[in-house]
Chain A
Amino acid sequence: MSGWLKNRTAIVGIGQTEFSKESGRSEMQLACEAIKAALDDAGLTPADVDGLITFTMDNSEEAEVARNLGIPHLSVFSRIPYGGGAAAGTVMHAAMATATGAAKVVVCYRAFNERSGMRFGGGGGGTGAMASMPLWLSWYAPYGLLTPASWVALHARRYMHEYGVTNEHFGRIAVVDRKHAATNPEAWFYGRPISIEDHQASRWIVEPVLRLLDCCQESDGGVALVVTSAERARDLRQTPALITAAAQGAALDGEMMTSYYRDELLGLPEMGIVAKTLWADSDLTPADISTAFLYDHFTPFVLMQLEELGFCGRGEAKDFATVENLSLGGTLPINTSGGLLGEAYIHGMNGIAEAVRQIRGTSYNQVADVEHVLATAGTGVPTSGLILGRP
């Protein structure tokens, strides 16, 4: 983004479906329900919407979404690539569109049946050979490196080796997420916290890096976010969550989850680029962040994000990321809705919705005196992030 866009736009509506393992309805229906809920929340109607932005991975086409909702006029529609790395990117592009006047009201959406339909974690298992293997996957699939969990683990193993990090350190993230999910009635794992012993007793998914409880859920559901100018936001129903900064980032020699060719595998350079832009554009520092949603598809990359974002130094996340520090009441409460591990895996869009609730003061796990909230998108891929602020 740029500093020019600071606080010129806001998220004024959030909407979501229930989060489940089998929605029982089409992805298109989930998308439309989430968008309608977000517009109702904002006090707007489909006729007010003139922009739609989603993920390249989303199956619900903009024109068909508009046809369902009865949106008569679209001026802006675009898609953001790289899986969950798109989440905050959709908001960044919506902010650019609404700040420049290219559109007046943009809805960002993501909806899928990722559990009952096509699961990302399956690695094509059970179907025999893939009909046509993507070129990039040809360097990994023949050797049995077929799932997002395995791609992340080969990277994180090196981080463990260099910094003396163990799987138990990763487990603390799972404990924090499940603790917060336990008190969020919308979360799949509502009322079901775990202990570090539960984590350590869960089976290996990729030894010796990821246990079952280090891996996010697979979920069905949808989330939508309504973005408009800060000026218009003042007249709407909800306390606006000002978009203080939003950024995308890709870095040298990166791949989609298999960036194994850089000199060191100790960080997430894409998130480093996002972080640099967020702090520069917002004129804020990590100390100004009241609470954060840190994309948690797999726990190791939450530790690396803490370092890339500057919440602690390189190699220090294993000491910083205690259950106490990251829980409600701690120095940096994270993933207060339960995150992707505890609430649902809606590709990070549910984390942004929670960031908006924290600004409004309506979270089930409300942090006191919130001024700024940070939310990141998918890691290990070209990614994005944003900072929201109170008006």
Chain B
Amino acid sequence: MSSRLAPSMNPDTQFFWDGVSEHRLLIQRCTGCATLRHPPRPMCPRCNSVSWDTLESSGRGSVFSFVMPQFPQYPWFEYPYIVVLVDLDEGTRLVSNLRDIAPAEVTIGMRVEVFYEHHDDGLVLPQFRPEAQS
């Protein structure tokens, strides 16, 4: 796969991308009050603790919102592509892409699951697709 714009990271966010490279979707969890938060940041807004660990997400959730950016066009995408805002089952939300489905088939609330895409330059990104029927 050709690459995408690579994220930058700092000590607050490194764990997320390390997890992604190991195919684990990690959510920051306050060790003071167990509140989950994403995107990661150093302090818990609920109890102000700066201690945290992580919870591994099931990688499953539902579509909260989605759009198809059309312009300006970038070399990193085949059009149309879907940007999705996912409500993870654990309760946090994150932005990603929805794959393996045509835009016209997507509905708000539909079930999705994570997978990981490796790019030629070593970048690994979490992506989502319709949840497999179990």
A158–B76 alpha-carbon span in the complex (Å) = 26
Residues of B52-69 contacting chain A, CB below 8 A: 64-69
Provide a sorted-by-A list of 6 A–B residue pairs whose CB atoms are within 8 angstroms. Answer: A123-B72, A143-B83, A150-B83, A158-B65, A203-B70, A206-B69
A157 contacts B72, CB within 8 Å? no
Stretch at the interface among A34-42, A129-137, A239-247: A129-137
B65's partner among A134, A139, A157, A204 (CB-CB below 8 A) is: A157
Given the complex, which residues of A lie within 8 Å of B31, measured CB to CB?
A: none
Contact A155 B65 (CB under 8 A): yes
Within 8 A of B (CB), among A114-160: 121-125, 129-130, 132-136, 138-147, 149-150, 153-155, 157-158
User: In the assembly, what is the distance between CA of A142 and CA of B116, in Å?
Assistant: 13
- Interface residue from A157, A252, A265 paired with B67 (Cβ < 8 Å): A157
Closest 5 pairs between A and B when the two form their complex, measured CB to CB: A138-B7, A207-B68, A158-B65, A141-B5, A133-B8
| Chain B contacts with A in 36-52, Cβ cutoff 8 A | 38-39, 45
Q: Closest A-chain residue to B10, C-beta based?
A: A135
Q: Is the CB of A144 within 8 A of B70?
A: no
Q: Are B72 and A144 in contact (CB under 8 A)?
A: no
Residues of chain A at the chain B interface (Cβ within 8 Å)? 121-125, 129-130, 132-136, 138-147, 149-150, 153-155, 157-158, 161, 203-209, 212, 252-253, 258, 260-261, 265
B34 at the interface (CB under 8 A from A): no
Q: Which of B39, B66, B67, B123 has the most CB of A within 10 A?
A: B67
- Main SS of the interface on chain B? loop
Closest to A126 in B: B72
Cβ of B81: which chain A residues have Cβ within 8 Å of it?
144
Chain B residue, CB-CB nearest to A121: B72
Q: Which of A129, A134, A142 has its CB near the most chain B CB atoms (within 10 A)? A: A142
Known pairs A142-B4, A142-B5, A144-B76; A135 contacts B13 (CB<8 A):
yes
B93 interface neighbour in A123, A124, A212, A261, Cβ under 8 Å: A261
Give the residue of A129, A146, A155, A204 whose beta carbon is less than 8 angstroms from that of B70: A204
**Considering the chains assembled together, what is the distance between the CA atoms of A204 and B67 in angstroms?**
11
Residues 83-116 of chain B, each 1 if its beta carbon lies under 8 Å from chain A, else 0: 1010000001111110000010000100000000
Give the distance to chain B from A257, nearest Cβ to Cβ, in Å.
12
What are the residues of chain A within 8 A of B5 when measuring CB–CB? Answer: 124, 129-130, 133, 141-142, 146
A159 to chain B, nearest CB (A): 9
CB of B66 within 8 A of CB of A144, answer no
Taking a contact as CB atoms under 8 Å apart, the answer to whether A144 and B85 are in contact is: no
Inter-chain CA distance A123–B72, complex, in Å, is 8
Q: Kindly identify which residue among B70, B85, B108 contacts A207, using a CB–CB cutoff of 8 Å.
A: B70
Q: A133-B6, A154-B83, A265-B64 are in contact. List 14 more A-B contacts (CB 8 A).
A: A121-B72, A122-B72, A123-B74, A134-B8, A138-B8, A142-B7, A146-B5, A150-B83, A153-B67, A154-B67, A155-B65, A203-B70, A203-B71, A205-B71
